[in-house]
A and B are shown apart, each in its own frame.
Chain A
Amino acid sequence: KAGVTQTPRYLIKTRGQQVTLSCSPISGHRSVSWYQQTPGQGLQFLFEYFSETQRNKGNFPGRFSGRQFSNSRSEMNVSTLELGDSALYLCASSLNRGQVEISYEQYFGPGTRLTVT
């Protein structure tokens, strides 16, 4: 079974631009989460989607948004990029059945390295 894939792997953008990152979860996984990883803050939760609905959201400004499609693929968008948005953006999928799952194991993609100049 193929793992989580993310595109593109590397991206360089200029301040003020916007960017869209894509994630394809493991087949059969309906939950997709996004994380931002930086050396200073570590792994920070952005949001989680399940069945095309945002189910949970972290403490990030509204410039960060996402969506999920009917095939569970997900996109994340960042508008009006700032230098501080430079980070590794990780997508993770989970075999979450829509009920409260006590384990909630995540399977991560390789990430998209975003550099804002």
Chain B
Amino acid sequence: TQLLEQSPQFLSIQEGENLTVYCNSSSVFSSLQWYRQEPGEGPVLLVTVVTGGEVKKLKRLTFQFGDARKDSSLHITAAQPGDTGLYLCAGAYDYKLSFGAGTTVTVRA
């Protein structure tokens, strides 16, 4: 059983469209992280959010941490084929990370 539920599981969009991935839990985390993983590689850290209500922007990516530190969202504006990958959220607690199942994003040219 995973502590973090991600939705949707799969997302296929056209280049230039926007997308949002959600990460929800009933547990409170000290921080929440987003990773992107490409086939044959390990996950790469995109961002860490720590404070409830925090919003971070990384170029076309916007990350938000819920006020109660139980949920988060990742929004990509004007998606590009290079954004294709598996997006994973992970909640930190007690020296370990609990990962969501991931959202597979495909951006078609």
Contact = CB atoms under 8 A, between A and B. Distances in A.
A56 B43 CA distance: 21
B33 A105 contact: yes
Interface of A: 4, 31, 33, 35, 42-45, 48, 50, 55-56, 58, 90, 92, 96, 101-111
Say what secondary structure dominates the interface of chain A.
strand
A114 to B, nearest CB: 14
Contact of B42 (A45, A55, A58, A109): A109
Kindly state the interface size class of chain B when it binds its partner. 20 to 34
A105 B48 contact: yes
A35 B31 CA distance: 19
Residue from B40, B42, B94, B98 with most neighbouring chain A CB atoms (10 Å): B42
Contacts of B33: 103, 105-106
A72 B19 CA distance: 40
A110 to B, nearest CB: 5
B2 A104 contact: no
Interface string B74-96: 00000000000000101010111
6 contacts: A33-B96, A43-B88, A56-B95, A90-B42, A110-B41, A111-B42
